[in-house]
């Protein structure tokens, strides 16, 4: 590691002890940015890198709620308001038992650069709770969401901070959160995105992250005169992002052969077509079952306790969670001929995995670029809310597609190195410049 990166990271680690995912996310960005800042010393003098690694504000709060047995439960709530240089804080809420401050800081940090890449005026934030929605009744989820919003509503607003979904937060949770915000504040505003269409949501928002991830991969493939047609694709996860990535790959003529959840993965060599995907959507979004049930229904393989990276593929679309592809997994992918990875999840590849992709010079789209379609379409939902109008499916999808093309172009602008496009460097510098210039213009704030 470069000495300057080492010194910078020593200070980050000392100031944020134990926050491993945050260190990992900052280090990856620092490796791209420090050489760039050396060439552009105005950012160095203004200490922009040090400033973007320090949240503007962190809110931590108690979330008491009552379960169906009448027992009081205490969860912990968070909102990390990372950077508001180019717009109000914007980013999802994650409800998962592993949630802690370090994970939310990594997500908020990534969000700042991602939101900048979308071309829309959004700052970055992230929040959530260690509450586990799995196995809870609708009533328990509602009780939790109402308690969570009773505190969170003091800190957010349509011009201040606009949360949305992430792991464990989908349409059901956004509904309960929105209802409580409206009741307490007596305001019907676009304070959350991912709303249902009948009460201020945008068409294509549910599809947007997965579609965007595939649109980004399509652009990467195009640089080598290639496409999804006839390609074997592995997808991890079986939630929001994985479902709509699968749909778009199939539409583009590729074949998705795996899906997973935290218990294991299914391998269906015939491909997960539209009918099978409809079954997955019902299983995951309505019945809230396990992916294992797919294998029983369609008579294919289920591999317990493993991730799908041992399956031979041309293209991999990690769409579950952080650090789900380690160095060994990356080696397996490469040995099996995989030559394109487009990240739907946030930071799914470990630093060792990224180094392996870069050494092999495969097409690698990092999450902050490849999964930016979700938050971009949240930005389009905010625009529609402000206009008090709603656009058609085709209009929103066309805007999303163009944004993904523009993000790809921006990554090429900053990441092209001879014949090879380093999308990590491209996304990090491309996202940074706008935020940094806005911070410079706004003074030491
Ligand atoms: P969902 O909650 O809809 O689905 C998450 C999926 O990932 C589930 O299949 C889940 O399995 C699996 N998963 C979650 N945690 C783990 C874990 N620790 N180990 C293995 N599998 C796990 O979430 P989303 O689809 O919305 O989010 C998936 C990823 O995409 C996340 O990294 C998120 O940050 C990112 N993302 C999401 C966006 C969005 O708009 N929703 C936008 C941009 C990025 P199980 O059910 O067993 O927990
Ligand atoms: O990681 C992400 O970009 C999201 N979970 C979506 C955030 C948003 O505000 O739509």
Whole-angstrom Cα distance, residue 1 to residue 81? 30
Domains 57-188 and 208-361 in one fold: yes
Percent of the chain at pLDDT above 70? Answer: 100
Closest protein CA for atom 4 of ligand 1: 239
- Separation of CA 416 and ligand 2 centre (Å): 27
Give the ligand with the smallest distance to the CA of 114.
2
- Separation of CA 380 and ligand 2 centre (Å): 13
Distance set, CA 223 to CA 142, 219, 230, 316 (Å): 47, 7, 18, 17
Whole-angstrom Cα distance, residue 262 to residue 288? 13
- Separation of CA 367 and ligand 1 centre (Å): 13
Whole-angstrom Cα distance, residue 312 to residue 333? 7
Closest protein CA for atom 43 of ligand 1: 371
Closest protein CA for atom 31 of ligand 1: 345
Helix/strand/coil for 230: coil
Report residue 418 as tokens.
């001879």
Whole-angstrom Cα distance, residue 437 to residue 445? 13
> In terms of Cα–Cα distance, which of 207, 217, 224, 223 is closest to 369?
217
126 included as an active-site residue: yes
Give the ligand with the smallest distance to the CA of 170.
1
- Separation of CA 186 and ligand 1 centre (Å): 32
Distance set, CA 421 to CA 44, 220, 401, 415 (Å): 26, 9, 21, 5
Active-site residue identified among 114, 126, 218, 368: 126
pLDDT band of residue 169 (cuts 50, 70, 90) is: very high
| Ligand 2 nearest-atom number relative to CA 377 | 10
Could you say which DSSP state residue 308 is in?
A: G
pLDDT band of residue 1 (cuts 50, 70, 90) is: confident
Decide: residue 253, CB within 10 A, 0-12 exposed, 13-18 middle, 19+ buried: exposed
Percent of the chain at pLDDT above 90? Answer: 99
β-pairing verdict for 57-66 and 72-83: antiparallel
- Separation of CA 194 and ligand 2 centre (Å): 9
Whole-angstrom Cα distance, residue 25 to residue 20? 9
Tell me the domain boundaries of the chain: 57-188, 208-361
* Phi/psi at 126 (5° precision): -160, 150
Whole-angstrom Cα distance, residue 81 to residue 57? 5
**Site to substitute for ligand 1 among 207, 237, 260, 263, most atoms within 8 A of C-beta:** 237
112-130 pLDDT, tens digit each: 999 999 999 999 999 999 9
| Ligand 2 nearest-atom number relative to CA 163 | 9
Closest protein CA for atom 3 of ligand 1: 239
CATH T-level assignment (fold) for domain 208-361? Rossmann fold (3.40.50)
Residues with CB under 6 A from ligand 1: 165-168, 170, 209, 237-242, 261-263, 319-321, 344-346, 371, 374
| Ligand 1 nearest-atom number relative to CA 367 | 44
**Site to substitute for ligand 2 among 375, 377, 383, 384, most atoms within 8 A of C-beta:** 375
For the cut 90, the answer to whether the pLDDT of residue 141 exceeds it is: yes
Question: Per CATH, is 57-188 categorized as 3.40.50.10860?
Answer: yes
For residue 342, list its beta bridge partners: 365
β-pairing verdict for 161-164 and 363-365: unpaired
- 252-257 own/partner pairs: CB under 8 Å, 24+ apart: 252/214, 252/218, 252/227, 252/228, 253/227, 253/228, 253/229, 254/228, 254/229, 254/230, 254/315, 255/230, 255/231, 257/232, 257/233, 257/311, 257/313
Mean pLDDT of all residues belonging to the chain: 98
Whole-angstrom Cα distance, residue 444 to residue 65? 41
For the cut 90, the answer to whether the pLDDT of residue 437 exceeds it is: yes
If you average pLDDT over residues 344-350, what whole number do you get? Answer: 98
Q: Which residues of 124-140 are buried (b: 16+ CB within 10 A; e: fewer)?
A: bbbbbbbbebeebeeeb
What per-residue confidence (pLDDT) applies to 190? Answer: 98
73-118 pLDDT, tens digit each: 999 999 999 999 999 999 999 999 999 999 999 999 999 999 999 9
Helix axes 138-152, 171-185, angle to 10 degrees: 50
- Separation of CA 114 and ligand 2 centre (Å): 9
If you average pLDDT over residues 167-174, what whole number do you get? Answer: 98
Whole-angstrom Cα distance, residue 145 to residue 137? 12
216-259 pLDDT, tens digit each: 999 999 999 999 999 999 999 999 999 999 999 999 999 999 99
How far does CA 74 lie from the centroid of its chain? 27
- Separation of CA 373 and ligand 2 centre (Å): 9
* Phi/psi at 270 (5° precision): -75, -20
Residues with CB under 6 A from ligand 2: 90-92, 111, 114, 164, 166, 193, 346, 374-375, 378
Whole-angstrom Cα distance, residue 94 to residue 40? 36
């Amino acid at each position: 590691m470069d000495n300057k990166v080492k010194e910078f990271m020593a200070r980050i680690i000392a100031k944020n002890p134990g926050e491993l995912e945050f260190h990992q996310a900052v280090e990856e960005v620092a490796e791209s940015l420090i050489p760039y800042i050396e060439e552009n010393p105005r950012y160095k003098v203004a200490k922009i890198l040090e400033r973007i690694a320090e949240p503007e504000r962190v809110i931590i709060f108690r979330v008491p709620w009552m379960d169906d047995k009448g027992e009081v439960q205490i969860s912990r709530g968070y909102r990390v308001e990372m950077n508001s240089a180019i717009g109000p804080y914007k980013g999802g809420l994650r409800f998962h038992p592993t949630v802690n401050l370090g994970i939310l800081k990594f997500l908020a940090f990534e969000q700042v650069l991602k939101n900048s890449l979308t071309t829309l005026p959004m700052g970055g934030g992230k929040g959530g709770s260690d509450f586990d929605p799995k196995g809870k009744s609708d009533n328990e989820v509602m009780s939790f969401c109402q308690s969570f919003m009773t505190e969170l509503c003091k800190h957010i607003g349509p011009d201040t901070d606009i949360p949305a979904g992430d792991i464990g937060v989908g349409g059901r949770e956004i509904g309960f959160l929105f209802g409580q915000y409206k009741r307490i504040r007596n305001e019907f505003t676009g304070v959350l995105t991912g709303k249902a269409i009948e009460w201020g949501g945008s068409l294509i928002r549910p599809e947007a992250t997965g579609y965007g991830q595939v649109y980004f991969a399509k652009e990467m493939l195009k640089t080598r005169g290639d496409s999804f047609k006839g390609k074997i694709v592995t997808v991890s996860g079986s939630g929001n992002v994985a479902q709509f990535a699968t749909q778009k790959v199939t539409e583009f003529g590729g074949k998705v052969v795996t899906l997973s959840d935290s218990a294991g993965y299914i391998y269906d060599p015939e491909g997960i077509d539209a009918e099978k995907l409809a079954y997955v959507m019902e299983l995951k979004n309505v019945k809230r079952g396990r992916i294992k049930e797919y294998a029983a229904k369609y008579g294919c393989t289920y591999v317990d306790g493993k991730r799908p990276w041992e399956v031979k593929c041309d293209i991999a679309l990690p769409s579950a969670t952080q650090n789900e592809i380690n160095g060994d997994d990356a080696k397996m992918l490469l040995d099996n001929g995989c030559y394109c990875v487009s990240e739907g999840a946030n930071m799914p590849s470990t630093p060792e995995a990224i180094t392996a992709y870069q050494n092999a010079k495969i097409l690698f789209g990092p999450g902050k670029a490849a999964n930016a379609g979700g938050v971009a379409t949240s930005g389009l939902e905010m625009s529609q809310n402000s206009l008090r109008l709603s656009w058609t499916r085709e209009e929103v999808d066309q805007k999303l597609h163009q944004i993904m093309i523009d993000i790809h172009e921006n990554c090429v602008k900053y990441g092209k190195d001879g014949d090879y496009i380093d999308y990590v460097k491209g996304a990090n510098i491309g996202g940074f410049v706008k935020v940094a210039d806005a911070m410079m213009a706004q003074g030491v704030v």
